[in-house]
Chains A and B, each alone.
Chain A
Amino acid sequence: MDRKGSSVKGSAGRHGKWLAATLFVALPSMPALAADYIDVPGGAYASVLPTAETPLDVNVPALAMRSEPVSNAEFLAFVSTHPQWRRDQVPRVFAESRYLDHWPTADSIGPGQARQPVVKVSWFAAEAYCESEQARLPTWHEWEYVAAADATRRDARSDPAWRNRILGWYERTSGGDLAEIGGDANAYGVRDLHGLVWEWVDDFNALFVSADNRNQGDPDLLKFCGAGALSMQDRDNYAVLMRIAMLSSLKGADVTGNLGFRCVRPNEEKSP
């Protein structure tokens, strides 16, 4: 952002001073540019969807995650510059008919919607938005890893209070207006992973717990089913497993009234 500011300033001649002041004021209100990505160090953790049988079996490389879910105002800025993602132009194969139908028109949002997380977005639209920020959706493992934190601990999942807070939110989610973005930051500085909306992940179509083709005698398939079944009995992870159940039931063009998203970028410099 600094780089862009100075190059504009340099070519604007005598308007430079005014321009610098304007940019300073204008940028925070330009959501497509205002996204704040927080560095998350890599690490190993026990996922509810393990890839092997050892306890700390999932390695998440260092990444930078959006500190907040994408808001209606940010998504509006995106469809303005990428009109193929307007609800009146998007191909049906990428988004069903209820896509963004909570907005008053295809190119405006209602009063009070600006700072709410955008919902009723399809996986394809979410992925395209992230690509416009040179980012992508987090994988399930990346999301689960960062979402395991509470305000002070990077993995708070064994704490009954943490689990109860999340389960308590699940009971409240249906009906009523969405709250605005801006919950408390977790130990990484990331907000609203719990308590506001559910979020798309890049590999949503990898989260099948009961596999297809189950009668084909593939031994690896049995291993997968076994791991899934064990995790399902783990009441500690019940709150997180509900997310998997929901995500695994969706198709890429589906939208729901409480499903939004955020984006991540790989952080190769900080990966081991």
Chain B
Amino acid sequence: MIRPAPWLGLFVLLVLLANPGPALSAPASDLPGDSVYQLHLPLRDQDGKAIDFASLRGQPRLITMFYASCPYMCPLIIDTARMTERELGEAQRAKLAVLMVSFDAERDDPAALRALADKRKVDTSRWTLAHADAADVRKLAAVLGIQYRQIDGGDFNHTSVLILLDAEGRIVARSEIMGKTDPAFVDAVRRVLGDSKAH
């Protein structure tokens, strides 16, 4: 009987080499299974700095998706996130981060995001405007329950939503009310920030 052992190991190795691990993989083992930070998502911010999505764990965060050339809805998303923040006390606000990821992988490079941040006077010490590759944009939207579709002329139809993540990256609340504050959502933000005035 011929023993297959010597080549079998090599064969298995070749099979493994031919099947590199998928981009989706679980990072830290103690991360909750329902955390959006389970998603392996390389981002680049408005200054071109690489950010690993999972490294954002540890701080409550508002997250939303937008695109820089958007004429109407996306400015409204920024305004609504600001209005929500203004409902908080200064100390509370300092504990909250904001992440806006672009749908437009093609055009929203760091320069375009930086230009928008400057134009809208976005405080990039707490707010991050980020680019992701097209396939990763699709995955992030799926994790966040956001629908979007590119239409002719380069615009996007998309869900406009603010999503609140706790420090572990679990979705705590979401609001599609744009242009004014959503009291229930503001209350959820206060609770996540540990504000004793929360209802």
- A residues lining the B interface (CB < 8 Å): 4, 7-8, 11-12, 15, 18-19, 22, 30, 32-33, 51-52, 81-82, 84, 89-94, 123-124, 127-129, 131-133, 136, 202-208, 211-213, 216-218, 220-221, 223-224, 248, 251-252
Contact = CB atoms under 8 A, between A and B. Distances in A.
B111 interface: no
B142 interface: yes
B155 interface: yes
B7 A252 contact: no
A259 to B, nearest CB: 15
A18 B149 contact: no
Interface stretch (B23-31, B42-50, B89-97, B115-123): B23-31
21 contacts: A8-B11, A12-B7, A15-B6, A52-B152, A81-B15, A82-B19, A82-B21, A91-B34, A93-B35, A93-B36, A124-B24, A124-B139, A129-B22, A203-B149, A208-B157, A212-B160, A213-B176, A216-B178, A217-B72, A220-B157, A223-B151
Interface residues of B, number: 51
A102 B161 CA distance: 35
A127 B7 contact: no
B39 A93 contact: yes
B149 A251 contact: no
A30 B14 CA distance: 13
Contact of A220 (B24, B142, B148, B155): B155
B14 A7 contact: yes
Contacts of B112: none
Contact of B19 (A89, A132, A251): A132
A34 to B, nearest CB: 12
Interface in B75-106: 76
A98 to B, nearest CB: 15
B72 A216 contact: yes
Contacts, number: 131
Contacts of B11: 8
Nearest to A129: B22
Contacts of B26: 84, 89, 91
Given A4-B14, A32-B15, 6 more contacts: A8-B7, A91-B26, A208-B157, A213-B73, A218-B72, A218-B157
A50 B36 CA distance: 32
Q: 10 nearest interchain CB pairs?
A: A252-B142, A128-B22, A206-B149, A92-B33, A12-B7, A91-B33, A131-B22, A91-B38, A212-B159, A208-B147
A128 B135 CA distance: 12
A257 B19 CA distance: 27
Given A91-B34, A93-B36, A252-B142, A216 B73 contact: yes
A81 B18 CA distance: 11
A205 B142 contact: yes
Contacts of A7: 14
A205 B159 CA distance: 10
A218 B73 contact: yes
Nearest to A202: B138
A131 B161 CA distance: 29
Contacts of A218: 72-73, 157
Nearest to B145: A251
A124 B139 CA distance: 8
A205 B152 contact: no
A101 B95 CA distance: 41
B4 interface: yes
Interface in B128-162: 135, 138-139, 141-143, 145-153, 155, 157-161
A127 B149 contact: no
Contacts of A33: 15, 18
B10 A11 contact: yes
Contacts of B72: 216-218
A127 B34 CA distance: 18
